[in-house]
Amino acid sequence: MKNLNNIADLKPLLEAAVKPKVIITTHHKPDADALGSSLGLYNYFLKKNIPAQIISPTDYGDFLKWMPNENSVINFEEFEEKSIDLISDADLIFCLDFNALKRIHKLGDIVKLAPAQKVLIDHHLEPEGFEDFRLWTTQASSTAELIFWFIELMGDVALIDADIASCLYAGIVTDTASFKHPSTTATTHRVAAVLLEKGAKSNKIYEAIYDNYSENRTRFIGFCLSEKLQILKEYNTALIVVTEDELKKFHILTGDSEGLVNYGLSISGILFSVLIVDRKVARKMSFRSKDKFPANEFARKYFNGGGHFNAAGGESMEAIELVEAKFKEALNQYKNYLTT
Ligand SMILES: [Mn+2]
């Protein structure tokens, strides 16, 4: 039987005379929590003289490239062979901010088959359980907050410097939507306070993440809100469907549609906000909800997705018109969550 949250058992391994070779990986298209927790941990391992390497399953947005030592990250899609070699040679693989190996795409099978022991640090519901060591709870605001707990458990808070603190602070700020989501606890604020004391510059981090958009992205958001927003009054739901042509017209890149789904939820009376984007590989969907609407259950049931209770994602391989129609049909099944 697997021991839940047995992460403390890692301590002797990490403090042995012969240091383990560590790989850190995170979910595809890493966001600020995925990359911030990975780089926070990486920068901590640097201080501990533990050899580590971050392998990202894919690329990520430019707004994350300010993070200290970001340039050391390997993109699996770009360096597949090198990544496979590193993974097969590793002693420990840290899997951050995801709960199932399919979330790292092709890397999933490689990690699964690797002889290394796996460590899960995550806050998403229902981890599938591929790991040997686990630090998991949905009570944490972010994986970045869990990395802080991990460093604390290792007795190493004193080692946290401005580099580590900045990466972790970025993850906490974005996953809590600036300390707004209900996952924000007193502990989250205490952790954030320590990170500020250690040298994280809150204003600089906000600026780097939120005031760093391209002109195209800003015009694209304006276009979506003015021309594409549907209000499905009978379901208290906001919907935006973006076609491939529209993505092309505004030169929309990875990460540019990030945050768009939140605008729908900011409308008074709206309980559920959904974004469907016609990406090349699949129709990507984002779900945000207020209160008791289970966004993750909805995503899992109809769109091969999942996530948090109020913030989830999904996808479909069907044509965008079909996805929109299927969504509206599914909505009807959940009508009583949205109308009382
Ligand atoms: Mn997260």
Instruction: Determine phi and psi for 34, rounding to 5 degrees.
Output: -60, -50
Q: Please report, rounded to a whole number, the percentage of residues in the chain having pLDDT higher than 70.
A: 99
Distance 198 CA to ligand 1 centre (A): 22
pLDDT, tens only, 199-230: 999 999 999 999 988 899 999 999 999 999 99
Distance 64 CA to ligand 1 centre (A): 15
pLDDT, tens only, 13-34: 999 999 999 999 999 999 999 9
What pLDDT, on a 0 to 100 scale, did the predictor assign at position 179?
A: 96
Hey, what are 201's tokens?
A: 């510059």
Q: What is the Cα 266 distance to its own chain's centre?
A: 21
Sign of the CA dihedral running 182, 186, 189, 195: negative
User: Which is nearest to 24 in space by CA: 114, 108, 119?
Assistant: 119
pLDDT band at 339 (very low <50, low <70, confident <90, very high): confident
Half-sphere exposure of 301 (CA within 13 A, CB side): 13
Contact 99, 23 (CB under 8 A): no
Distance 226 CA to ligand 1 centre (A): 30
Distance 199 CA to ligand 1 centre (A): 22
pLDDT above 70 (res 1): no
Bridge partners (DSSP) listed for residue 316 = 283
Contact 243, 320 (CB under 8 A): yes
Distance 73 CA to ligand 1 centre (A): 18
Distance 134 CA to ligand 1 centre (A): 15
Distance 175 CA to ligand 1 centre (A): 6
pLDDT above 90 (res 340): no
Q: Which amino acid is at 167?
A: C
Distance 245 CA to ligand 1 centre (A): 31
Distance in angstroms (rounded) separating the CA atoms of residues 262 and 181: 12
Distance 121 CA to ligand 1 centre (A): 10
Mean pLDDT of the chain: 95
Instruction: Determine phi and psi for 126, rounding to 5 degrees.
Output: 50, 65
Distance 37 CA to ligand 1 centre (A): 9
Q: Name the residue with higher pLDDT: 301 or 5.
A: 301
pLDDT, tens only, 58-74: 999 888 999 999 999 99
Which residues are within 5 Å of ligand 1 (an ion), measured at CB? 33, 97, 142-143, 175
Distance 249 CA to ligand 1 centre (A): 31
- Residue for token pair 């640090």: 121
**Which domains, from first to last, does the chain contain?**
7-210 (3.90.1640.10), 215-339 (3.10.310.30)
pLDDT, tens only, 109-151: 999 999 999 999 999 988 999 999 999 999 999 999 999 999 9
What pLDDT, on a 0 to 100 scale, did the predictor assign at position 334?
A: 94
User: Which is nearest to 315 in space by CA: 287, 334, 335, 292?
Assistant: 287
Contact 146, 52 (CB under 8 A): no
Distance 227 CA to ligand 1 centre (A): 31
pLDDT above 70 (res 9): yes
Contact 144, 37 (CB under 8 A): yes
Q: Which amino acid is at 248?
A: K
User: Which is nearest to 68 in space by CA: 198, 225, 234, 261?
Assistant: 198
Distance 143 CA to ligand 1 centre (A): 5
Distance in angstroms (rounded) separating the CA atoms of residues 128 and 54: 22
What pLDDT, on a 0 to 100 scale, did the predictor assign at position 125?
A: 85
Across 240-250, average pLDDT:
96
pLDDT band at 248 (very low <50, low <70, confident <90, very high): very high
In terms of DSSP H, where are the helices of 80-142?
80-89, 107-113
- Residue for token pair 């004391």: 197
Distance 174 CA to ligand 1 centre (A): 9
Contact 286, 274 (CB under 8 A): yes
Distance in angstroms (rounded) separating the CA atoms of residues 120 and 130: 8
pLDDT, tens only, 84-104: 999 999 999 999 999 999 999
Hey, what are 328's tokens?
A: 């509206």
DSSP 232: E
Hey, what are 338's tokens?
A: 């949205």
Q: What is the CA radius of gyration of the chain?
A: 20
Distance in angstroms (rounded) separating the CA atoms of residues 272 and 157: 39
